[in-house]
Chains A and B, each alone.
Chain A
């Protein structure tokens, strides 16, 4: 069974940097997009963008372009999302999900989420 295991909760101060992770278990990690989805407290799902581990191609939602950076370590089947300088408005839960894009387009496997709290 394919799983995505995300890193634990984080508490940071404004201006600090952060890198969270999403580790895949199971075959073919490099054959699917890994999408990142933000959920602000009490709000809906926001698609941030995705990375294709096979060739490290990235696609960013324009709303998040320049705010976060996606990367991947294919030796260990880990996808990362990082911030260079956090803001209080980055307080949210961040999910990674496997994106399927052959014939049908959807996210079929989700991590449990990483909660990020940014507060002074």
Chain B
């Protein structure tokens, strides 16, 4: 069982915004620099979406944004598109180890 908890599923219609939460003890989050998010389509490798809590790698649309409040990190996807339907994982680095959240399945209605 992951130390980072995500909702099993979320859904939204095209054009809407959805937020995926990732909660855990502060000890698991390390610092803001340690939080990242990944997108994984079926039978594909994970893809980095967000690092350092809020930073996007080159090529990731600005529809994807990260934030944190207290012991909860969040990924917000604005202007949902059909291709956003995927699994999303939060990840943090603490104690010289990475830990992933359990993953959230996003359905675009």
Closest to B89 in A: A45
Within the assembled complex, what's the spacing in Å between the Cα atoms of A117 and B97?
Answer: 27
For the residues of A in contact with B, the DSSP-based class is strand
Beta-carbon contacts under 8 Å, A77-120 to B? 95, 97, 99-101, 103-108, 110-113
Contact B97 A108 (CB under 8 A): no
Contact with B along A14-48 (1 / 0, CB 8 A): 00000000000000000000010100000011110
Contacts of B44 in A (CB 8 A): 112
Contact with A along B32-60 (1 / 0, CB 8 A): 01101010100011111001100101000
Question: Quick check: is B102 within 8 A (CB to CB) of the other chain?
Answer: yes
Within the assembled complex, what's the spacing in Å between the Cα atoms of A103 and B31?
Answer: 11
Closest to B100 in A: A45
| Number of chain B residues close to chain A: CB under 8 A | 28
Contact A95 B46 (CB under 8 A): yes
Pick the contact of A99: B38, B98, B99 (CB < 8 A).
B98
Contact A106 B46 (CB under 8 A): no
In the assembled complex, the CB of A92 is this many whole angstroms from the nearest CB of chain B, namely 13
Within the assembled complex, what's the spacing in Å between the Cα atoms of A46 and B99?
Answer: 7
Contact B36 A105 (CB under 8 A): yes
Question: Quick check: is B96 within 8 A (CB to CB) of the other chain?
Answer: yes
